[in-house]
Structure 1
């Protein structure tokens, strides 16, 4: 250690800089404490029809629970048909398939289609309602260019012809056609409809009035279709809001594009800036990033990150009523609680609960109970319901990244030295090159540098903690420390667990500060090296273990910890016993499950029992500790120390594999950048406390078993 004091000083200075940056990030997060609840108009309308009360009654009652607003989609051909309004929509390609189509349709339409160039993908909407005609006519004429549609009238029908293309077409699923011998003949798919059925036509005044009369605000969900978009659409949409006296707090855009994309964004930006309207970014179904909407991030950046993350209650979440043996909506409450406390969600897009697919929960008391519980729980995190707060646009200066990067370089050299026993001059050369390299890449390619530095910290520090683990276990194994009573050994294990976790926590701190830019906090950018940073330290630990313990021939005290070629050759060419293969397969399966369980993009999900256990911890503690840390990874380090003390070299390796998972998990906790840093700190702290308690129990159990067997052999366990 004395020879490495320069490297240690650089790491210590980097920790100081990281702490300063972390304090700023935590200040930003602590000021972001207001959560809004926005009701889905369409879903509550369906629920109200199944209940004894009308929609206005439900809105009024939910307002009493702290709800402030209702999200309202623009009307379109699809929504009006869903509401059974007198409207028929057809594809021209399907109409002209009929040889006698000209006899079945009004003469003005027939004449127009016969004298103009038509397309099979054009859409025809027909109504006999004057009121509906006026609404559609005004919506089309105010929003879209004249060459995009044609209005055709006869004495009893009003027709709208929209210009479609092949890219607008919607088709039925491919269907197989068989011959008489049931042999496949061909596959066919029919033209079903067009994406133009969702072209926005404006807000329904009756719906707007119902929301306002209930004392709630309207959060509009403007829809955009790129081929029909432009300045005219944006201006008409804004005029609608002025006409209805709507002052949106947020825009939660519908469809796959933001309003006005791509040519009308400037007008939208100006309107949103003048009225302090926030961008609503809807979290994706896998709880990672957001649903893809063209222009969303560009708009957010241009507005100076005046944005909020939105959690939309998916259908499967609505159906989590009486789930996990709960009597009501407790699991839905848990889901919403996690969203706002752990993922920087500040707008909940709320939908009614469901018993089954089309059967809603209409008992008002269940909603009251859920909201009361939710408000009580978020209050413990100093959160309240109201207009959603926005995080300050936090940025990490390049000079801080450089200084933190120097600390990562120094730690990397310490790790290399543990594996290779470097000469002093090589350390100095590597240090000089590393400091220059970090400075250069941060200045020239700051975005790339940010990702590389974060990935390096996530790998180096957990690996460095495992180097410390291997060193201490070899010391214990060589009996350089006098054999102690079992509780003294447990004390050594606890001390080493705290030190190892502290080393890994330095890496967590650096990752959490280097990546504390607002784009990461809003999850517009994500750290993509999570799985890689969990796998590499496992491989490094294996190398470290061979360096400290050797393969078969044990290394003597004071012998170099650099890995030997003989050890590598022994692994590659040694005879393999069946038991080793079995152990390898078991470890491989465990490793696969471990990696697959990371994130929400896998079919391997926690069991119901595990989820109930998680929920219990979540309800009782300020932050739920990670199961893999406190149940086995942290106790494994204490057990590793114990078995090293009693001379079980191979068990040190087994427990070391579990230990490295816990050390990488510490850093991984802070890689969830949308989670407030204070919550990550508390989560790791809880894991450490519970891990120590369980570690003591596990070691005493192992000690009891070993004592029993040694007594049977007439041996004494303690000296």
Structure 2
């Protein structure tokens, strides 16, 4: 401490600033406590058709459960066909392929086609319904450039020819044509349709009325089509909302672009500001960031981050009815609960439960039970259902970022000083470079500064924590007492575990505050160094272990603590035994699983048994502790202390490897920036508590096994060879 007074002072200064920022972030998160639920109209309609009740009955029931709005897509040629309306939609190219097209299609269309002026990528829509004709015609007249559509009428038949091109065309995947011997002859793909079939034609007034008559709000899903959606289109869409008396609480956009992109975003922004409408950012399928929609982030920033994160229930979650041995929709409920409490989701886009790909759960009691339980569970976090709340646009001041950067730089120099014998000029020279580098980066590359500083903190402080742990173990190893009380070992182990974890928590605090900008809380930006921050400290720990214990040193008494060239030589020139190769393979496989399971982007997921255990903890506790922390990593440090006092070097090394995984996991918990900070703290506290209890149990089992082995073999346990 005395040799590093300046480093400690700067580190503490950065820590104070980080703590102040943490309180600001938690104050913002504490006011974000209201969750809303909307339900998909199309799927609710399908549910009603399979049940013994009509749509209006289900609307009333879901309103009583807490649903406040119904999400309604605009009609299009595609939806009209799916709804079995009296309309036929074809690609012009496919019409002309029909050998008898002049006999099979209306005379008014045949005459038009015979005069040319049409290509295979145009869309042809034919209807005999006058009501449908006027609905479609009004949409084209008020929304789109009439130069792009030809409207034909004759003999009670109405035809729309929409001008398309190859950029809009949709094809089937390539299929292989084979000869009689089964040999490939050629590959071909068939013209299937056009993206123009999804051109938004407006909301169905009858559907709107059904929703509003039941006292529910309409949540329209505006759709923007590139090349068609100019300012006139946007104005027409917004005028439709006024005409239908729709005041949407949120804008949850459909398609690949937000309404008004790229030239009419200002019009949409002004409308949303005037009516207090929040923008919805729909979470991606891998539960990270949001689905990509052009103009979405630009609009969110223009609205000063007046946005909410949206969880759209995917089909595979809909089918988790009677899942994991539950009797009903408990696992679907668990999914919604996690989204709300752990991922800052404030709008649930709900879809009804399904028994399989086609059959819906039609027992209303199952929905009532699920929503009732969900409301009770989120109430434990001070949350209620209602108009979705938003977070204040928290922005980290540059001066705070700089001071925290200085603290991280001081921690980095402190870590380096343990590996090499640094004199003060070198030490303070490195510190000066770190201070200048972090300061310059905060001004020149602010977004990169956030991530690099967070990455540095995520690597440095877990590594420092293991330096503390190994230094303590070295003392226990050298000061071996002939009679060591078991309770004394437990007390020392608990103290060292808590101290080690506290050092890692400093890194977690830096990560959670350096990345506390509203863009991270809304997951418009993320911390991208998670996997590196989990792998690199493991490698650093191996160096730390060699620094304190060497490699196959027979005696540590009087040996200096530091990396030794002799240890490196022994490691590099050691005979490679088959057991070493097998062990390395096992460790590599375990490492791959460990890293792969840190996200939702791989197929390696927890087993059903583990998920049931997680669900039990989730139902019992306010926050589920991480399994690897309390089950393995934290108890391992208690075992490591026991091994050091017993001078079992191999066991000490294995315990350290497991322990560093837990220390990086502490930081990783706070790297999930969408999770409220208070919840990450509670989760870590639970993990430490359970980890201590399990650690004591493991020590008792280890001591019993040690006694049994000694009595059977008549010799000491062979842990000391590494």
TM-score (norm 1): 0.98
**Count of aligned residue pairs for this structure pair:** 717
Residue 321 to residue 25, structure 1, CA distance change in 2 (3 Å): same
Q: Extract unaligned runs of 5+ from structure 2.
A: 718-722
2:210 counterpart SS class: helix
Question: Hey, what's the Cα distance between the residues in 1 that align with 2:635 and 2:218?
Answer: 53
Question: Hey, what's the Cα distance between the residues in 2 that align with 1:160 and 1:463?
Answer: 68
8 A contact 1:34–1:346 mirrored in 2: yes
Q: 1:338 Cα deviation (Å)? A: 0.4
Q: Who is 2:584 aligned against?
A: 584
Q: Who is 2:272 aligned against?
A: 272
Q: 1:99 Cα deviation (Å)? A: 4.4
8 A contact 2:269–2:299 mirrored in 1: yes
- Map 1:255-270 onto structure 2 (within 5 A): 255-270=255-270
Q: 1:557 Cα deviation (Å)? A: 4.5
1:560 and 2:556 correspond: no
Question: Hey, what's the Cα distance between the residues in 1 that align with 2:392 and 2:512?
Answer: 17
Residue 712 to residue 359, structure 1, CA distance change in 2 (3 Å): closer
Residue 483 to residue 113, structure 1, CA distance change in 2 (3 Å): farther
1:355-395 Cα offsets, whole Å, 9 max, x none, are 11110111111111001100000000000000100111011
8 A contact 2:480–2:646 mirrored in 1: no
1:557-601 Cα offsets, whole Å, 9 max, x none, are 464333122222322222111111111111111111100101111
1:585 counterpart SS class: helix
8 A contact 1:173–1:189 mirrored in 2: yes
Q: 1:291 Cα deviation (Å)? A: 1.0
Question: Hey, what's the Cα distance between the residues in 2 that align with 1:96 and 1:48?
Answer: 40
Question: Hey, what's the Cα distance between the residues in 1 that align with 2:34 and 2:106?
Answer: 57
8 A contact 2:257–2:294 mirrored in 1: yes
Question: Hey, what's the Cα distance between the residues in 2 that align with 1:451 and 1:92?
Answer: 52
1:115 and 2:115 correspond: yes
8 A contact 1:419–1:561 mirrored in 2: no
8 A contact 1:490–1:696 mirrored in 2: yes
- Map 1:107-256 onto structure 2 (within 5 A): 107-256=107-256
1:147 counterpart SS class: helix
Q: 1:108 Cα deviation (Å)? A: 3.4
8 A contact 2:69–2:219 mirrored in 1: yes
Q: Who is 1:322 aligned against?
A: 322
Question: Hey, what's the Cα distance between the residues in 1 that align with 2:229 and 2:254?
Answer: 14
1:677-710 Cα offsets, whole Å, 9 max, x none, are 0000000000000000000010111111112233
Q: 1:153 Cα deviation (Å)? A: 1.4
Q: 1:115 Cα deviation (Å)? A: 3.4
1:85 counterpart SS class: coil
1:167-198 Cα offsets, whole Å, 9 max, x none, are 21111222221101111111211001111111
Residue 273 to residue 192, structure 1, CA distance change in 2 (3 Å): same
1:107-147 Cα offsets, whole Å, 9 max, x none, are 43334334343221110011010000000000111111122
8 A contact 1:520–1:526 mirrored in 2: yes
8 A contact 1:281–1:290 mirrored in 2: yes
Question: Hey, what's the Cα distance between the residues in 2 that align with 1:554 and 1:161?
Answer: 88
Residue 122 to residue 696, structure 1, CA distance change in 2 (3 Å): same
1:377 counterpart SS class: helix
8 A contact 1:418–1:561 mirrored in 2: no
8 A contact 2:14–2:403 mirrored in 1: yes
8 A contact 2:44–2:351 mirrored in 1: yes
State the superposition RMSD in angstroms.
1.4
Q: 1:714 Cα deviation (Å)? A: 5.9
1:38 counterpart SS class: strand
Question: Hey, what's the Cα distance between the residues in 2 that align with 1:501 and 1:483?
Answer: 28
Residue 445 to residue 716, structure 1, CA distance change in 2 (3 Å): closer
Q: 1:713 Cα deviation (Å)? A: 6.0
8 A contact 2:508–2:670 mirrored in 1: yes
Question: Hey, what's the Cα distance between the residues in 1 that align with 2:452 and 2:467?
Answer: 22
Question: Hey, what's the Cα distance between the residues in 2 that align with 1:357 and 1:293?
Answer: 28
Q: Who is 2:14 aligned against?
A: 14
Question: Hey, what's the Cα distance between the residues in 2 that align with 1:669 and 1:452?
Answer: 18
Question: Hey, what's the Cα distance between the residues in 2 that align with 1:103 and 1:239?
Answer: 42
Q: Who is 1:54 aligned against?
A: 54
2:22 counterpart SS class: helix
Question: Hey, what's the Cα distance between the residues in 1 that align with 2:569 and 2:115?
Answer: 84
2:53 counterpart SS class: coil
Q: Extract unaligned runs of 5+ from structure 1.
A: none
Q: Who is 1:302 aligned against?
A: 302
1:414 counterpart SS class: helix
Q: Who is 1:337 aligned against?
A: 337
Q: 1:615 Cα deviation (Å)? A: 0.4
2:97 counterpart SS class: coil
Question: Hey, what's the Cα distance between the residues in 2 that align with 1:405 and 1:482?
Answer: 47
Residue 666 to residue 483, structure 1, CA distance change in 2 (3 Å): farther
8 A contact 1:148–1:228 mirrored in 2: no
1:642-672 Cα offsets, whole Å, 9 max, x none, are 1111111122111111001000000000000
TM-score (norm 2): 0.97
1:691 counterpart SS class: helix
Q: Who is 2:448 aligned against?
A: 448
Question: Hey, what's the Cα distance between the residues in 1 that align with 2:634 and 2:647?
Answer: 21
Q: Who is 2:96 aligned against?
A: 96
- Map 1:418-457 onto structure 2 (within 5 A): 418-457=418-457
1:501 counterpart SS class: helix
1:227 counterpart SS class: coil
1:29-57 Cα offsets, whole Å, 9 max, x none, are 00000000001000000000011111111
Q: Who is 2:720 aligned against?
A: none
Question: Hey, what's the Cα distance between the residues in 2 that align with 1:565 and 1:608?
Answer: 48
Q: 1:712 Cα deviation (Å)? A: 4.7
Q: 1:622 Cα deviation (Å)? A: 0.6
8 A contact 2:623–2:683 mirrored in 1: yes
Q: Who is 2:664 aligned against?
A: 664
- More divergent stretch after superposition (98-107 vs 301-310): 98-107
1:496-515 Cα offsets, whole Å, 9 max, x none, are 10011000000000000000
- More divergent stretch after superposition (420-429 vs 310-319): 420-429
Question: Hey, what's the Cα distance between the residues in 1 that align with 2:66 and 2:604?
Answer: 37
Question: Hey, what's the Cα distance between the residues in 2 that align with 1:270 and 1:378?
Answer: 34
Q: 1:414 Cα deviation (Å)? A: 1.3
8 A contact 2:396–2:516 mirrored in 1: yes
Question: Hey, what's the Cα distance between the residues in 2 that align with 1:202 and 1:531?
Answer: 46
1:349 counterpart SS class: strand
Q: Who is 1:628 aligned against?
A: 628
Residue 234 to residue 439, structure 1, CA distance change in 2 (3 Å): same
8 A contact 1:70–1:217 mirrored in 2: yes
Question: Hey, what's the Cα distance between the residues in 2 that align with 1:135 and 1:492?
Answer: 78
2:151 counterpart SS class: strand
Question: Hey, what's the Cα distance between the residues in 2 that align with 1:402 and 1:621?
Answer: 38
8 A contact 1:546–1:563 mirrored in 2: yes
